[in-house]
Amino acid sequence: MAVRTDATADQPAILALEDGRVFHGRSFGASGETFGEAVFNTGMTGYQETLTDPSYHRQIVVMTAPHIGNTGVNDDDPESGRIWVAGYVVREPARIPSNWRAQRTLDAELRAQGVVGIAMPATRALTRHLRDRGAMRAAISTVETDPKRLVERVRTSPEMSGADLAGEVSTTEPYQVDPPAGVPSRFRVAAVDLGIKAMTPQRLAERGCTVTVLPAGATADQILGLEPDGVFFSNGPGDPSTADSAVAAVRGVLHARVPLFGICFGNQILGRALELGTYKLRFGHRGVNQPVQDVHTRRVHITSHNHGFAVDAPTDGPFDTPFGRAEVSHVDLNDGVVEGLRLLDRPAFSVQYHPEAAAGPHDAAELFDTFCELMAQREAGAVTPG
C-alpha cells in the first residue's frame, strides 16, 4: 500500500447546518458541494460497509471515531456496488493506511466515486449538536465561500421526512444468489430489495436458501408467483410512511401465510402493514453496539443499527392487527425504541436492527435460522392455521 501523496486536503471546506451552525475544515475525498441529512455513526470499525450501505442514501454521515481510513479500502467489504452516503465527515483521515487487505486509500476511493467529504476538528461538537437538536439538513462545500448563503441553500434542500427513496437504490432487474459450493439448496426465498445490503442474501444463502432478489416495486402477485418458501423485506433509505407499494406487498404475503422476515426498513413496512404508525427519531441509532433486549427471554444482544425512523407499537403485550395478534419482540435498552415485531397468528417477524451485521457484531445472526425454521415448519405443514 503506497503512502498517501495526494493533496486534496489542502482545500478549505465548510459544513453548514439548517439551524445556522457552521463548521470549518479541510476537503476530504472529492471537492465540490453536497446536500443531505446530517447524522452520526458511532462505529469504531466498518467505515467501508457504512459508506456502501444504501440506507445512507441522501445522508451526510459524521463518524464519531476520530481516525477514519486506517485500513484503507478493499474490493471485498462493500455492501453494494457504490458509495451511497451523500457526504462524509471525519475528524482525521488516516494518512498512511495499513492493512494487508487494503487496495486503495479511502480518500482516493471517495474522489473516484465523486463523494464530497470534510475533515474537521469539531466532529465531537457537531455530534453533540445533532444529539441535542436532532438530525437535520446540511451541506458540505468547497466552492461556496459565504457560510450564510450555504445555510440558506440548505434550508431549501429536501427533507428526509416524506422522502421516498427505495426506488432510487433498488435493483432494476431480479437476480439470484445461490448457496455456496457444498451447501444444498433447501428453501427458495424472494427478497424485496428496498436498499438491500449484500450480506443479507449471503447470510440466507449460506443457510441453504436460493435467494431471488426483486426490485422495490415488486407486487405480492409477482412475489408469490415465484412460489417462494419465504419472503424477505430489506433495509432501505427514506421515510417508511412513503413506501405504500411495499406495504401492499407485505399484506399480500401475510394473507398468503408465507413466512416473512423483515430487517430495518422491512420492520417498519411490516409495522405499517399491521396498521401501526412510524415516526422520526430525534437523532436515530447508527452504530455497532446498541443493546437490544428480547422481551421474552430478557436476553440482550449487542447489535448493529442504522435507522432514523421507528415503529410506534404497544410494548406491554400482544395487540390486535388485521392479521391476528402481534407483539413487540425486542426493545432498545438505551431509549426503549421498538426494535422488533412478531406475529402470533402468522409466520412473520422483523427486526429494526441488523442481524446481518456488516459492520457489527454477530450476536443476532440466529434470526436467519429462525426464518429458516419457519420455512421448515411450513414445509412440514406445521404452521398455525387460523
Ligand X SMILES: NC(=O)CC[C@H](N)C(=O)O
- Residues at the binding site for L-glutamine are 55, 236, 238, 265, 268, 306, 308-309
CA dist., res. 349 & res. 261, Å (int): 5
CA dist., res. 21 & res. 154, Å (int): 11
- Residues 234-263 close enough to bind ligand X by CB under 6 A: 235-238
Catalytic annotation, pick one of 264, 285, 307, 327: 264
The C-alpha cell at 183 is 451447501
The C-alpha cell at 88 is 462524509
Do residues 2 and 94 make contact, with C-beta atoms less than 8 angstroms apart?
no
> Is the Cβ of residue 232 or residue 265 nearer to ligand X in the bound state?
265
Pairing of strands 22-29, 116-119: antiparallel
> Is the Cβ of residue 8 or residue 278 nearer to ligand X in the bound state?
278
Q: How many residues bind ligand X (CB under 6 A)?
A: 11
CA dist., res. 158 & res. 168, Å (int): 15
3-state SS, 164-195, equals CCHHHHCCCCCEEECCCCCCCCCEEEEEECCC
Pairing of strands 187-192, 230-233: parallel
Catalytic annotation, pick one of 79, 330, 354, 372: 354
Q: Is 308 among the residues that bind ligand X (CB under 6 A)?
A: yes
Do residues 106 and 73 make contact, with C-beta atoms less than 8 angstroms apart?
yes
> Is the Cβ of residue 63 or residue 264 nearer to ligand X in the bound state?
264
User: Kind and range of the H or E element at 125?
Assistant: helix 123-133
CB of 87 to ligand X, least distance (A): 17
Annotated binding site: 55, 236, 238, 265, 268, 306, 308-309
- Residues 16-75 close enough to bind ligand X by CB under 6 A: 55
Pairing of strands 260-263, 230-233: parallel
Q: Is 307 among the residues that bind ligand X (CB under 6 A)?
A: yes
CB of 77 to ligand X, least distance (A): 18
Q: Is 340 among the residues that bind ligand X (CB under 6 A)?
A: no
CA dist., res. 285 & res. 292, Å (int): 12
User: In the annotation, is 356 catalytic?
Assistant: yes
> Is the Cβ of residue 36 or residue 179 nearer to ligand X in the bound state?
36
User: In the annotation, is 24 catalytic?
Assistant: no
Q: Is 306 among the residues that bind ligand X (CB under 6 A)?
A: yes
> Is the Cβ of residue 41 or residue 64 nearer to ligand X in the bound state?
41
Do residues 241 and 219 make contact, with C-beta atoms less than 8 angstroms apart?
no
User: In the annotation, is 264 catalytic?
Assistant: yes
Considering only the stretches 151-159, 306-314, 317-325, 361-369, report the one whose residues sit in contact with ligand X under the rule CB under 6 A: 306-314
| Catalytic residue list | 264, 354, 356
> Applying CB under 6 A, which residues contact ligand X?
55, 235-238, 264-265, 306-309
